[in-house]
Amino acid sequence: MAPAPPAPRIHWFARLEHRLHVWREGRARRRGRNATVLPFPGYGGPGWVRVLGRVLIVPPQRRGRDGEPASIRGWRSFVGIPVGFASVDVHVGDSTHRVVADRGGVIDTVIRADLEPGWQTFTITVEGQEPIEARAFIVAESTRFGVVSDVDDTVMVTALPRPFIAFWNSFVVDEHARIPVPGMAVLLDQLLRQHPGAPMVYLSTGAWNVAPTLSRFLGRHLFPAGSLLLTDWGPTHDRWFRSGRDHKLTNLRRLATEFPDVKWLLIGDDGQHDEAIYTQFQEEYPDSVAGVAIRRLLPAEAVLAGGRAEMESHDADEAPWVSAEDGAGLRDQLGDAGILH
């Protein structure tokens, strides 16, 4: 019998990160702090739910005079201590499902559950703490249209690709100082109004740490509620940092597999790799693409972003491609393409 292949060696930086988290967790627990769950909006279909969240030890949240969470600078989103491999109970109706977080405390698992289409709620508990309410959008079996949108420079002006600007926006800028892209909230709202029951997915290379801040931003600027698919900025078992391109492609492929009858309108910008990602996805899953809408960066934004990607010709593609500088322009072109009436 051939010997079993050796287990893959974990990158030394990933091991170092894990040891740091374990040390910080032990220090926090000696101070009497307990773990909690930060749930993220998930999604599901008939008979199943993708549950998303993170197990953290977090400092007490500051609140303003009105009782609402106080405005915070980006770096405070990263001070929580992830609790790796924590056991979590997900309660859906009369059923309880035990799941385990990953090394970074992230919960990303599919459970069996029969829920009605639309936004539904359930609860998550960890270490005997009070149940935390979570929610997921359940896609009906008859649904045929959905929207996937990038976040950075698509719904929120960030000029993310340039490292210093990324650091400044993520760690320094006050959350209330973040600016929405004009017209994008109206565009997304009209798309979902025209297609009742369509899933809305925000797919970003942003870190899970900023999910609460991102959710507040979207709500404050009247963007439609949607599932959040973010990533972890830490190292993987074999590389220094996770690939944003791989993260987006993996989740797009997963959506195409989970919902084979849904055609997705893919929305992004020309400052990162969205066009190349969407082109590859369309080549792999042509029946899963309703169209592609690319927001063109303004000249000043393109300079901060280190330039813009060259827009290739997509005249031969079955699904229409459109581009404009804001939501109003995209709305007009999507109307001309027959996607928005």
Q: How far is CA 249 from CA 30, 40, 51, 169, 221, in A?
A: 41, 20, 20, 24, 28
pLDDT at 131: 95
d(CA 336, CA 341): 9
Q: What's the CATH architecture for 145-336?
A: 3-Layer(aba) Sandwich (3.40)
- Region 12-26+33-59+74-138: CATH code: 2.60.40
Comparing C-alpha atoms, which of 120, 136, 134, 109 is closest to residue 44? 136
Whether the predicted pLDDT of 67 surpasses 80: no
SS3 content of the chain, % helix, strand, coil (to 5): 30, 30, 40
Average pLDDT over residues 77-88: 82
d(CA 190, CA 186): 6
Q: Give the residues across from 37 on adjacent strands.
A: 55
List pLDDT tens digits, range 257-312: 999 999 999 999 987 689 999 999 999 999 999 999 999 987 666 555 555 556 66
pLDDT digits (tens, 9 = 90+) for 225-256: 999 999 875 544 444 445 578 999 999 999 99
What stretches of 87-225 adopt beta strand conformation (E)? 87-92, 95-100, 106-112, 118-126, 132-138, 145-149, 156-157, 179-180, 200-207
Provide CB contacts within 8 A for 117, sequence distance 6+. Answer: 138, 139, 140, 143, 197
Q: What is the pLDDT of residue 14?
A: 62
Parse the chain into domains and list their residue ranges. 12-26+33-59+74-138, 145-336
